[in-house]
Amino acid sequence: MPLFALPFPPISPVLVELGPVSIRWYGLAYVAGLIFGWWYIIRLVETERLWNGVRRPKATDIDDLLVWMTLGVVLGGRIGYILFYNFAAYRENPIEILQIWHGGMSVHGGFIGTALAQYLFARRRGLNVLTVFDLTAAAAPVGLFLGRLANFVNGELYGRVTDVPWAFVFPNSDGLPRHPSQLYEAGLEGLLIFAVLTPLIWKAGILRKPGLAVGIFGLIYAAARILVETVREPDPQVGFLAGNFLTMGMLLSAVTAVAALALVALALGGRTRRPEPSS
User: What is the distance of C-alpha 215 from the center of its chain?
Assistant: 14
Spatial separation of the C-alpha atoms in residues 3 and 12, rounded to whole Å? 27
| pLDDT per position as a tens digit, 20-61 | 888 889 889 989 999 999 999 999 999 999 998 899 999 999
pLDDT band at 222 (very low <50, low <70, confident <90, very high): very high
130-158 mean pLDDT: 96
Q: Are 95 and 82 in contact (CB under 8 A)?
A: no
Q: Residue 232: helix, strand or coil by DSSP?
A: strand
Spatial separation of the C-alpha atoms in residues 273 and 275, rounded to whole Å? 7
16, containing H or E segment: strand 14-18
Note the pLDDT of residue 68.
Answer: 95
Note the pLDDT of residue 276.
Answer: 47
In the predicted model, is pLDDT for residue 99 greater than 80? no
pLDDT band at 78 (very low <50, low <70, confident <90, very high): confident
Spatial separation of the C-alpha atoms in residues 210 and 130, rounded to whole Å? 5
Share above pLDDT 70 across residues of the chain, in percent, rounded to a whole number: 90
Q: Which residue has the higher pLDDT, 147 or 105?
A: 147
pTM value is 0.90
Spatial separation of the C-alpha atoms in residues 170 and 132, rounded to whole Å? 39
- Number of Cβ within a 10 Å radius of residue 253: 24
pLDDT band at 101 (very low <50, low <70, confident <90, very high): low
Q: Is 148 known as a binding-site position?
A: yes
Spatial separation of the C-alpha atoms in residues 82 and 85, rounded to whole Å? 6
In the predicted model, is pLDDT for residue 142 greater than 70? yes
**What value does the mean pLDDT of the chain take?**
90
| pLDDT per position as a tens digit, 1-10 | 455 689 899 8
Note the pLDDT of residue 244.
Answer: 86
